Each structure stands twice: as C-alpha cells, then as structure tokens.
Amino acid sequence: MKENTYLDRKKHSTERALTIATWAAILGIWFLITKIELFSSTLVPSPSRVLDSFIKILNEGYNGISLFTHLGASFQRLFTALALAISTAIPLGLLSGYSRKVRGVVDSIVEFYRPLPPLAYYTLLILWFGIDNTSKIILLFLAAFAPIYIAGVSAVNRINIDYILSAKSLGANQKKIFFKIVLPACLPQLFTGIRTAVGVAYTTLVSSEMVAATSGIGWMVLDASNFLKSDVIVVGILIMGFTGILIDYGLRYLEKRIVYWRGHV
C-alpha cells in the first residue's frame, strides 16, 4: 500500500514537472520570437507588453468598465446557463438511458441541434428572446446541455445489469435502485460530461457576446480585435484560459469528494 502511494506521488511529481517545463518552454519561445522580432509586435505582442496591458486593465478597466465587471458579466451568463443545463440534462439523460420512450422524444432533438454551429441559430434566439442576456444564456444552455445529456444516457447504458437484478432479487424498489445503484454508477461519467460542457459553453461565450453586449471577457477580446489591440486580445485569452482551468480544477475537486469510490482523477 505504501509502495503504491509512493509510486503515485512519484508519477504526480513527474507530471507536474513536465507541465512546468512545457509552459516554461512556451514562454521561452514566445519571448525569443518577440525578442528577435520574427513577427510584427502588432501581430505577436511581447510578454512584457501583455503584462503591462493586464496591469493597466486591472487598474483602469477596459472601455471604462473594470475587469471584475467584465468577469462578473461573463460568469453570470456562463454559470446561469450551466446551472440550467445541469438541472435539466442530468435527469433527462438518466431517464433517456432508462426509458426508450423518453429517449425517443429527447434524443433526436439533441442530436439534431448538437452539430450546428452556435451562430447558425443565435440569430433566431435573438429574434425570439431579444438581444439582452436571455438569448445569450439560452445559447450557452443549449451548448452545455448536449454533452451532459449524452453522458447521462451513456452512463446508464454502461451499468452492469447484474447489479440491478441482484437488487431487485433482494426486494429493492425502483426508488432505491435508482439512488443506490443507478445514480452512483453514473456520477463519474456525469462529471466528465459537466467538465466537457463547461469547455463548450466557455467557447460559445465569445459568440454569445458578439451581439449587443457592452461587457464581458468575450466582448473585450472581440472589441480589441476590431482595433488590432493584440496585447488586450492575449490578455483576454489568458484570463479565459486560467479561469477555465480554475473552474475545471474546482469540478475535479468536487468529483474527488463526491465520487470518492472512483479514486484519483
């Protein structure tokens, strides 16, 4: 047992060292490219210029709006959509995996819109729900719903039927079978679906802030691109990347606490 723990720690240390070395190499290449002026500074801003822009935006904001207001606007849209997606996609996904009738109603709809680019139907959402946050949240909701729903259906289909039959033979009713067998067995894959949904929704966030938005990290990047402010664009991308990592880390932490029988992820 101690030997396995030692090996796990050694593997994690090696992985962490490789991660640090990879990012150090990326920063080194970035610094070298800008130092020798391989590309124009308008196209590839230097790390020092990006850092100066970040400090300026942190102190003064962007376009008269503070950085935390931009983050708050984006996160309000993102987390509202994710909360709606999780609360609807999980029960519908589990029911679709459990019942062919429910799957026959829901599955085809999800599979129809899932491959569509968000901008393909965003115009319709604006016409139906207006140009305020409602259409943006619905767009993010649709983007996040599909991965969680599919994970729920797949998780139910992977359950070993022997577990359910054994529970029935011992007198367990449908409620106990669901909460004691089905749901715990599905939780690991559901968390994977949620983590995927966060990435998809965050990617769609930029599209949702393209129309009639005056704040948000995605809007900030798009506005900066109109004026070739590459340093601000890189700042926005880095902020989205780091906040995305933090959100994913939080989900992985919750998974370790809730799905403790799965082990390390």
Q: Which two tokens stand for residue 236?
A: 């926005």
Same structural domain, 14 and 89: no
Q: What is the 3-state secondary structure (H, E, C) of 165-190?
A: HHHHHCCCCHHHHHHHHHHHHHHHHH
**DSSP SS3 for 41:** coil
- Count of CB atoms situated within 10 Å of the CB of 44: 16
pTM score, two decimals? 0.83
How many structural domains does the chain have?
Answer: 2
- How far is CA 32 from its chain centroid? 32
Q: Which domain, by its residues, includes 226?
A: 47-258
Same structural domain, 10 and 90: no
Q: For residue 72, is it within any domain?
A: yes
| Residue matched to tokens 């609360």 | 87
Q: For residue 264, is it within any domain?
A: no
**Tens-digit pLDDT string for the chain (265 aa):** 445 565 666 667 788 888 889 989 988 998 898 888 777 777 888 888 999 999 999 998 888 889 899 899 899 999 999 999 999 999 999 888 878 888 888 888 998 988 888 878 888 888 898 888 898 999 999 999 999 999 999 988 888 778 778 888 877 777 787 778 888 888 889 999 999 999 899 888 877 887 767 788 888 888 888 888 889 999 998 998 889 889 989 988 888 888 876 654 4
Same structural domain, 31 and 54: no
Same structural domain, 51 and 29: no
Same structural domain, 163 and 247: yes
Q: For residue 263, is it within any domain?
A: no
Beta-bridge partner residues of 65: 62
